[in-house]
Structure 1
Amino acid sequence: MCLSAPQLVKLCSGMIEAGKAYVSANKLFVNGVRDLSQQCKKDETISVNTLISSFRLFQILFDQAQRSVKQQLHNFVKDDVRKFKETKKHFDRVREDLEIAQVKNAQAPRNKPHEVEEAAGTLSITRKCFRHLALDYVLQVRQMTLNPCLRIYSMFLLYIQQSSMEKREMEHKHATIQQRDFSYDDSKVEFNVDAPNGVVMEGYLFKRASNAFKTWNRRWFSIQNSQLVYQKKLKDSLTVVVEDLRLCSVKPCEDIERRFCFEVVSPSKSCMLQAESEKLRQAWIQAVQASIASAYRESPDTYYHLDRTASPSTSSIDSASEPRERSGRGESILQRIQCLPGNQQCCDCGQADPRWASINLGILLCIECSGIHRSLGVHCSKVRSLTLDSWEPELLKLMCELGNSVINHIYEGSYQEQGLKKPLPSSSRQEKEAWIKAKYVEKKFLKKLGSTEILINGERKSERRWSAEAEPETSDPEDMRDLHPGALLCKASKARNLPIMAEALAHGADVNLVNDEDEGKTPLIQAVIGGSLIACEFLLQNAADVNQRDARGRGPLHHATYLGHTGQVCLFLKRGATQNDGDEDGQDPLSIAVQQANADIVTLLRLARMNEEMRESEGPFGQPGDATYLDIFREFSHMASHNPEKLKRRSVHFRHSFR
């Protein structure tokens, strides 16, 4: 229980009143002893007198308590606490003035020197005033803590000495403040990558929000545990800006209106920050760079066991069949991907145990090669972490369909014939970068289309067979070498053969090719007709247009709805497929699904339409989607990938009429 000062005074008064009663009883007792002593011998009289003297000490003690303890507590409550509250109010007002001055200084545009000078001058004066008041405030707090104790125990001499010493120290500090330059606050300039508590650097920065208004907010930032994090208030939980500093870069920004800005760029986002001075900006940039270098020196495995509660994006791979369970099943899926041929090593340099992936290529990479891939741009390679990012089930199955051996048989088919050597894990970054650009951008190591043998599930397969499963009904005697890449992509998409689709794309096939010989059907529409959710995912990852229509006005969503492919409908809606326009018969996907009595697809389409209407009603800055809507789509995605039999058509008699 926490007592207030008045309650403490009341308890002290009660103690003194009880003491008075005790002293009165003692007086009666002492008088009785004195009467008894007159009848005793001389030695006994001396002992009795000593006893009487000790009892008199009790009376003196309570008199002292009455004068010193009670009175001093009363003075403490009446005067000291009141003065402290007044000082605290003054301190809070000056602190608010300082925050306002900091915001105005940060907002001063670099192209208006007079505003910059005025804001900087105001900030410097306010900082000095704040520091002076802070010293007085600290002294008063300390004196409030000491004064009652010193008064109660009558340690006046010690108190005076200590108080005088503190006053002299404060006077010296006030003089130091007066001489200092407060154009910036350098209290947090230093950083230490080997700090015992793991905090490399911390301090206030302005952060530009990612909303449409691009507002700036002052937050407490820190670099710790190879992450960049911030808090709104001291007791708030940490918000992670960069999950792994090895994946980011930092650079000063001079092309925006505000001064002292720098940008921290990571694979998933960029964060614009502003320091309060050029010196502080340089210190933060150096601290981030030093932390990146330190993180690279550490063992890579240290960064694959991050706190999964820090941020939603740091969760492990979701289980395919149990989306709410994460740990055990996630690891088994990761192991399944890593066990594919060639996936035990980085696809480009051979580094063991790769933990990064290019999802549009279907390969695994080490962290250094993944950084080089990221620099190529998402049109060439989309990099994702196997352990730090969440994975959709269809994307996991896509990764299991390809792998390093399959892709290297395509993209490295001729490098040995050219007398070239592949980089090693010990090769320099420049060598690896040159190799990766030549391999994926310039495509210097491709063999002639149709002349490469591709590994499928660890075995060499002839590319004259269209289906990866080599099913008789999907085989085609036509020779690949007679087809141009676009036609090959269309055939392979319909036949669900991802290795041949990958080779066609490597040889320059247009992922959005319009096949005039087949009613303008695109490769994505052919993948829908072939019934492969994974082929659709592969094409979408490689920039296929989810809304491109054929000659009859039917897009991939129309075809998937007609054919009753619920998983594909879910996939296309998640990727932004529109459903408001009708085909040449005036039918949109929802009317088609209602006509065919496919309850699952009707549900998905109606939810998507309702969600779109909700977003439109909220204006341009509305939320990306209702939580219930997203949960339902997530469940359909898992079911389509792992239990497709639960989504089978309830009616099939329209399928033949559509074809």
Structure 2
Amino acid sequence: MQFAKLDDSPMFRKQLHALEESAEALRERCQRFYKGCRKYTDGLGEAYDGDIAFANALETFGGGHDDPISVAVGGPVMTRFTIALREIGTYKEVLRSQVEHMLNDRLTQFVSTDLQDVKELRKRFDKASLHYDQVREKFLSLKKDAKPEIVVGFEEDLRNAKSQFEQTRFNLMTALSNIEAKKKFEFLEAVSGSMDAHLRYFKQGYELLHQMEPYIHQVLTYAQQSRERANSEQVLLADRMQEYRRQMERDNQRSFSSNDVTPAGDGIQAAARSSHKMIEAVMQSTPRGKVQTIKQGYILKRSSNLRGDWKRRFFVLDSRGMLYYYRKQWGKPTDDKTIAHHTVNLLTSTIKVDAEQSDLRFCFRIISPSKTLTLQAENAIDRMDWMDKITGVIASLLNNQIPEQRPYRSPMGLHQRTGSETSTLSASSEYDGSEDTVASRAHPSGSRRDHNPRRGPKPQERPVDILQRVPGNGVCADCGASDPDWASLNLGILLCIECSGVHRNLSVQISKVRSLTLDVRVWEPSVLGYFLSVGNTYANTIWEELLPPDSRAAEDAGVRGSIDERNGSLRDVRVKPKPNDPIAIKEKFIHAKYVEKRFVRKLKVQSGAPPMARQIWDAVSSNKLQLVLRLLITGDANANTTFEQAMGASESSRSPLVSLAGALSRKGSVSQSTRSNWSGPLLPTSQTPSRPRSAASSPLRGYDLLEGPSSNEAAIADTKDLQGCNLLHIACQIGDLSLVELLLQHGAQIEATDSLGRTPLHHCVLKGKNLCAKLLLTRGSKPRAPDITGKTPLEIAVEKGASADEELFYMLSEPNR
């Protein structure tokens, strides 16, 4: 018993005080215990999250049954382990919930309710005791002669105060007694309950894992056996690799010690008849529907792009007589779509030793009607082996006369190119056309100039020799270095090697740099004609118009900026650099010249002058290439300007033929009265408007690339509808390859359609401009694009009789275009 006597006495007050101190000490201990319990339950929750995350990760790693990787790492076994781990995680979550309920919640209830009640009751007891003392003092201070009614009132107050005091005293005593009683069972019950929860948790986990114990030991045994098998396989693989390295060393020694012997002729004669007989036996013994590999391995293949770089490809020669290679290492042999564009049918192929335009060793060629593969083996023996195998397959195919459908080959011997090997010069500056000489693209109209040998360069003449004869092209357009052998395709200028390196750092929208000697496939007749029509001299009249006329003489006068000796930076780019100037000076000048256009006189359309769209439309319609180039640079004209943009709303609503007739009636691109309203110059008055003077002195004149009648009006006079046409449509109707090339180099859309759904290729075929049609086809134009009537360029060519040009007909009918 905490209270022996219930009377209010000093001993009673002392006992109350001792119990209150004990309760306060218990409060502090409970708060520290609660923090530990809370951290423990939080840890159980994190452990549960970790168990579930681990189970999910294990399932993701090897849970799928159909995944080859999952099967290899034991996916089905891990799936069962994942289920067990999730069960154990569930048990842990149940334990956390029970511990939180039995410990945390009960401690919170004890501290926040029971101990807090003691503090509240103590406050009430102190207040009631003070009130009782005050009332008692007032009652005892009454005089003997006090009135009875006053005495009665004080007695009533004293009685009420004492009753309230006793009530609060007993309440406090009850609360303290409750605290003392709960000390004996509350905490033991909570802790023992949590331990029982732990017991159930570990018991459930043990039962679960005990049931899986045989399975776990079985998996461990299987894993140990797999380890032993893997070690054995590694040992065998190491032995095979060692033997393979020895064989490679022997082959290399034999290869380097042997002479570079190659089969002669077209490669059809056998180099080893026993090998041919073995190949023929393999091909004949292969079951129907099955394919056997005769030889496979890596060979270097020369790319069909402009650079003609060499790339390592994996080739396979099979019993069907097919030679194919994988463009990507992950290509599958059974994937017909993957190998369809990289297959050569050897029945219609021949094999040649060495490669054209290459002095590399170990090269050979496989020539078929569809493509020519230039290959390079790693050594002479490897080349002999490949050529022997391929020759044997060809001989077997010819001897047995295996029926294969031969691809169409034109009588002119044009080789078909697959879609995977073609490229577009206007998009990537890489052209995959045949290496024809400039004279091979002569005008087909039968005029005398087509057969005049003086009109074209000699067959052996190089592009660098042709273009450097143009006035101004003997020196670099940017620094004046002599004998430039690099060029910018879209700018139409020749550059030295240092300036070409600076141009390469610019975006391809500004400058597309190619070599005059290395990138031989770039220099098609259209590109040559474009360069012959421009030249460095005329190009610099546009790009350097605001540059002082003699910028080199300005150096002595102090105009040239000083050069920082540490980095060679140029502080004044108004002076044209010299050939021996530091590269930093050239870089700043070229950036200011072409990127910032600091020296270009901007063409401003003043009041009364036609809009820029109309000016460039008239220039293209009049076939003024130099004026078109000037408007594109100085006036920021759009190479995709349409008829509606050029003529405006008032004129485009009228008959387009009338508007065009008005445009063509002017002999020049603009009238002299209009010319005076322009802020920028157009062409030198002493220069021929249609072509520059430089073109006249060049071996191949720009007008040699003009098809059809010499009059531009006659070339497009029968146009029925110009609605929706753009500049490229008009250039194709005129038939000037150089003008078409200029527009393509400046971003003209090759697949743009007019109001009748016709592309520029449609217009080329309609007007009989076959050379322009071939140019568009090599640049990626789609020959199967229909117009609104559903007719493709091929169908229009057949209707108009253009199929007499077998090369054009073959290009239009290519299925891979």
**Higher radius of gyration, 1 or 2:** 2
| Structure of greater relative contact order (alpha carbons < 8 Å, 6+ residues apart) | 2
